[in-house]
Amino acid sequence: MKTAKRFAMLAGLALALMAVLSFTGCNGKGGSAKAAPESDFEFKLSDDGTFIELTEYKGNAEHLVIPETIQGVPVEVIDGFYQNKKIKSVVIPSSAKVIHNSAFLYCESLEKVTLPEGLFCIEGHAFSNTGLTSVTLPKSLEYLMAAFNECDKLAEINIPDDAAFLVKNATEVAVFLSEEKGWDDEAIARSGEEIFSGSKINESVALQKKLREIKCINTEALTYYPKAKEKYSRWY
């Protein structure tokens, strides 16, 4: 009899534990967070049918995980969150390649963004005027525009020394702007600094020194740059 009671008690505890784990996994506090439902998004399919571009977020999540696929097609272009007042954190999916201009502009409650490896472009004002406090850029990033300006709480930026946009493109873009457009070194350096202008991090002397040393280009200038236009054409 005692054995039966003990077994029943253990079984009950196991069920309770499973319920707790299930609950925490779904709400993002104790396990992998669940991606938002596809119905929360307006989107469009690329002309060749190979990727999705998000155009509007209709959900109410504070802590948002963007799905990697919609209707089985990879989500490669992120947009449509302009002036969202509810989102506090967002996980960009590993499928993403481009975060469009002003995608999260004026999302004043947004404090945290997780950027994936594989992302290669963050356009101008993508996260401007948000509540971000810290950002880690992926090594895969090739083009970075003035994406974090006017973020007055942004106090920490993690830039990998071997990030593609710092090493692969910055020098050749600087040469192009100098030789083809007549930009001098001061103009090129100033362009890089505009990436974080108006943000708390922009006050960092160490960051400014690093930007100058690596000629980190604010790639608004890439509207002039033929190689960038060629690479971007898939997403425009």
- The label of the residue with tokens 């998004």 reads 41
Q: 20 in a domain, yes or no?
A: no
Q: 194 in a domain, yes or no?
A: yes
The larger pLDDT score, comparing residue 176 to residue 103, is at 103
Residue 53 has a pLDDT of 97
Which helix (H) or strand (E) segment is 44 a member of?
A: strand 41-45
Residue 130's domain is classified under what CATH number?
3.80.10.10
- For the chain, what is the domain count? 1
Give the whole-angstrom CA distance, residue 150 versus residue 124.
12
Q: 84 in a domain, yes or no?
A: yes
Q: 219 in a domain, yes or no?
A: yes
> Cα–Cα distances in Å, from 213 out to 18, 167, 169?
53, 11, 14
- Average pLDDT (205-225) is 62
Q: 2 in a domain, yes or no?
A: no
> Cα–Cα distances in Å, from 76 out to 163, 203, 236?
20, 33, 12
Domain span including residue 169: 38-235
Give the whole-angstrom CA distance, residue 60 versus residue 71.
21
User: Are the beta carbons of 108 and 131 closer than 8 angstroms?
Assistant: yes
Q: 11 in a domain, yes or no?
A: no
Residue 106 has a pLDDT of 97
Decide if pLDDT at 218 tops 90.
Answer: no
Q: 15 in a domain, yes or no?
A: no
The larger pLDDT score, comparing residue 37 to residue 18, is at 37
> Measured between alpha carbons, how far apart are the two ends of the chain, in Å?
72
Q: 13 in a domain, yes or no?
A: no
